[in-house]
Amino acid sequence: MKSFLTEIKGRYGSGDYEGDQFGGARGHNGNGLPTGLPNNFMFATGIECSYPTIDNGKTRRDMLAECDHYNRYKEDLGLVKEMGLKVLRYGLPYYQIQQGPGKYDWEFADLAMAEMQRLEITPILDLMHFGLPDWLGNFQNPELVVHFADYCEQVAKRYPWVRYYTPVNEIYVTAKMSAKDGIWNEQLKSDKAFVTALKHCVAASIMGNQQIAKHRSDCIIVQSESAEFTHELRAEHTPAVQLENLLRFTSLDLLYAHHPEGEVLNYLYDNGLTRREYDWFMAGEPPGYQIMGNDYYGRNEKIMLPNGETVVSMDVLGWYNITRDYYLRYKKPVMHTETNVFDANEGPTWLWKQWVNILRMRKEGVPVLGFTWYSLIDQIDWDKGMATKTGTVNACGLFDLDRKPRPVADAYKMLLQEYGQITIVPHGELFEVTERPATLKVEV
């Protein structure tokens, strides 16, 4: 298989990546938060927009279609405004828009983006959410990197008013579900396929970020990634589970040029990552202001029992403890980018529990920049990872599929009323709100 570096060299004339090419901001050295928001803390929601394929590519799961957003986008965006929220995680349907090299269909995207602009909603624009256009195949394809970068550039040129982006949503989950768990897209179940998907997704995010920064040098990248952990209840821990608890960092290690542990590096080399590719990832961070978004659902924290059975732990460590591990590793400003619970009656309590986690993190001086209840409306079949199309409604939205409020909507409004004027971080003087391009404030 060709390396993604070969594709990059063929498109851009060089496979070299120097990092921070258009600036870059690390840790506490600037962030450039949105103007016009009260104290700039980003209270947000999101519209579920996943679009992987299942059934060996025969069936496309498009949550925007299944939840009727294409027909009701104005109503849905109006609900964001009605909630009093100014920030929205929003994913354009990439698989529909890029119809071939240099060929795009912007019809729906233009309508939705114009409505957001009219309502003065600040989008965190999600450019790839678990799926690809049919013509690109799947995440084993090294050409993905350059074609996705082209798409990112076109988005940045078409919507120059957008500053916030998530180039590739949940890179680790994308690679794992598609190439190791055998559920989505290529539906493979091998370590080699997982590493291939992982490196292609990270490289796509980096190159897409580069193209965005060419046109929006003050771009803010909110990298949404799942906050995972498995508790192994065995007197002697097994290497496989311990390796899994390290692999959860791998997407961000490669993205942020952080050298992983030796056993992880050996795993990557054993499963197809080349030394040249590794050196490319370690050359530096992507450009722009980087925010580490951590998604936390009780169901992505697990307990492995002595007999090998795995059960959902629901909030043993919680967002605070797991995200703190990520923060100490990367020292990035943090955002809680996704959370929900499938029982609508438990929604308000879960919302407050997440907020307690945020307040505790902020009390320790960690720069938490925002919070997201995900999603605006209920979802479908996420209780089974969209692996089969049964139409099960997951009652996790602020609103149901009839656009009637769930109890958590009132709880969120109460939270906004009480905390809507909080400062961005406990030590706000560490940050500079600026419209200038991102630059390193100190030599790293």
List Cβ neighbours of 442 (8 Å cut-off, separation of 6 or more).
29
- Residue 374's pLDDT is 98
Q: What percent of the chain has pLDDT over 70?
A: 89
**Residue 14: is the preceding peptide bond cis (ω within 30°)?**
no
The pLDDT, as a whole number, for residue 27 is 29
pLDDT at 195: 98
User: Which pLDDT score, from 0 to 100, does residue 423 have?
Assistant: 60
pLDDT given at position 15: 61
pLDDT of residue 85: 95
How far apart are the C-alpha atoms of 86 and 177, rounded to whole Å? Answer: 32
Measured CA distances, 183 to 34, 56, 63, 249, 299 (Å): 37, 9, 16, 21, 17
**Residue 87: predicted pLDDT:** 95
Rounded to two decimals, the pTM is 0.92
- Is 250 within 8 Å of 258 (Cβ atoms)? no
Report the C-alpha gap between 74 and 186 in whole angstroms. 34
How far is 361 from 326, CA to CA, in rounded Å? 12
Look at residues 329, 332, 361, 337 and name the one whose alpha carbon lies nearest to residue 426. 361
Structure tokens at 442: 């100190």
pLDDT of residue 19: 55
399-414 b/e (C-beta count within 10 Å ≥ 16 → b) = bbbebebbbbbebbbe
144 within 8 A of 136, measured Cβ to Cβ: yes
* pLDDT, tens digit, 9 for 90 and up, residues 283-294: 999 998 899 999
Q: Tokens standing for 367?
A: 């720069």
Given this model, what pLDDT does residue 26 score? 34
> How much is the pLDDT for 31?
37
CATH of the structural domain 4-420, one choice from 1.25.40.80, 3.10.310.10, 3.20.20.80, 3.30.2350.10: 3.20.20.80
Task: For the chain, list residues with pLDDT below 50.
Answer: 21-38, 425-431, 433, 440-444
**Token pair for 397:** 């939205």
Q: DSSP for 217-286, please give it.
A: TT-EEEEEEE--EEEE-SSS--HHHHHHHHHTTHHHHHHTT-PPPHHHHHHHHHTT--HHHHHHHTT-PP
Q: Who's near 320: CB < 8 A, 6+ residues apart?
A: 357, 358, 360, 361
Q: Please say whether the beta carbons of 412 and 351 come within 8 A.
A: yes
- Residue 286: CA atoms inside 13 Å, Cβ hemisphere, count? 33
Domains of the chain, residue spans? 4-420
pLDDT score for 12: 86
